[in-house]
């Protein structure tokens, strides 16, 4: 009674609809999973703390990172992106974030680890400059005046962020503060 093409169209439409319902169900079920992440990050050593020629403070650190993200993995987890960031305040900005280290965890077996690393990305705070124009013989010249360095003696907070990337559904993000550290007053 119905042609082969009509029956194939019905079968494909039903299959795609069923797949969509299963993906939506997986997304909804995954949101009920609670993570009990355990982590500790400590600064072992300040390798370098200097002022760059352009006025920015630059810090290189050695970190001891201990992380257990096994609870973040479910049957719907493809991978977990994890990174350690520094958060601090300055007079100009209420929140400054700089990533120091990142890693992709492909499966649950690699989700618990301890490592000692130097920061992958340098901690560089860009000093604020004030541009002051002045005029000499109808030429406008911009003079850069520095307002100071932001990292000397600053208390920084080390925060572990993780992003759970599912096979289907929305990405889940979370973070925990793991420790704090005082940047030295003097350059090394």
Q: Are residues 23 and 43 in the same domain?
A: no
Q: Which residue has the tokens 């069923």?
A: 18
> Do 107 and 177 belong together in one domain?
yes
Phi, psi of 103 (to 5 degrees): -160, 145
> How many domains does one find in the chain?
2
- What average pLDDT does range 168-182 have in this prediction? 90
Same domain, 78 and 16: no
Count Cα atoms within 13 angstroms, Cβ side, for 128. Answer: 7
Q: Is the pLDDT of residue 57 over 90?
A: no
Whether 56 and 17 map to the same domain: the answer is: no
| φ and ψ of 167, to 5 deg | -70, -35
Kindly state whether residue 60 falls inside one of the protein's structural domains.
Answer: yes
Task: Let me know if residue 76 belongs to a domain.
Answer: yes
Q: Greater confidence, 90 or 118?
A: 118
Domain that holds residue 169: 35-182
Q: Please give the helix or strand (H or E) that residue 18 lies within, else none.
A: helix 4-30
State the pLDDT at residue 9: 94
**pLDDT at residue 67 greater than cutoff 90:** yes
3-state class (DSSP) for residue 70: helix
Whether 10 and 58 map to the same domain: the answer is no
Residue 127 clears pLDDT 60, i.e. is over it: no
pLDDT of residue 134: 47
pLDDT at 159 over 90: yes
Q: Are 8 and 46 in a shared domain?
A: no
Shared domain for 81 and 112, answered yes or no, is yes
Judge whether 187 lies within some domain: no
Predicted model pTM: 0.76
Confidence category of residue 149, pLDDT binned at 50, 70, 90 = low
Weakest mean pLDDT among 35-44, 78-87, 122-131: 122-131
């Amino acid at each position: 009674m119905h042609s082969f093409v009509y029956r194939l169209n019905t079968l494909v439409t039903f299959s795609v609809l069923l797949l969509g319902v299963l993906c939506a169900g997986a997304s909804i079920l995954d949101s009920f999973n609670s993570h009990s992440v355990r982590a500790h990050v400590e600064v072992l050593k300040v390798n370098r703390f200097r002022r760059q020629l352009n006025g920015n403070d630059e810090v290189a650190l050695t970190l001891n990172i201990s992380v257990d993200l096994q609870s973040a993995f479910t049957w719907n987890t493809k991978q977990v992106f994890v990174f350690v960031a520094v958060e601090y305040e300055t007079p100009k900005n209420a929140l400054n974030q700089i990533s120091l280290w990142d890693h992709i965890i492909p499966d649950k077996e690699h989700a618990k680890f301890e490592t000692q690393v130097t920061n992958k990305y340098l901690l560089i705070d860009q000093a604020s400059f004030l541009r002051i124009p002045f005029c000499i013989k109808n030429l406008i010249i911009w003079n850069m005046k520095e307002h100071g360095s932001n990292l000397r003696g600053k208390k920084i907070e080390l925060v572990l962020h993780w992003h759970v990337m599912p096979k289907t559904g929305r990405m889940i993000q979370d973070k925990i503060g793991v420790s704090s550290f005082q940047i030295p007053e003097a350059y090394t």
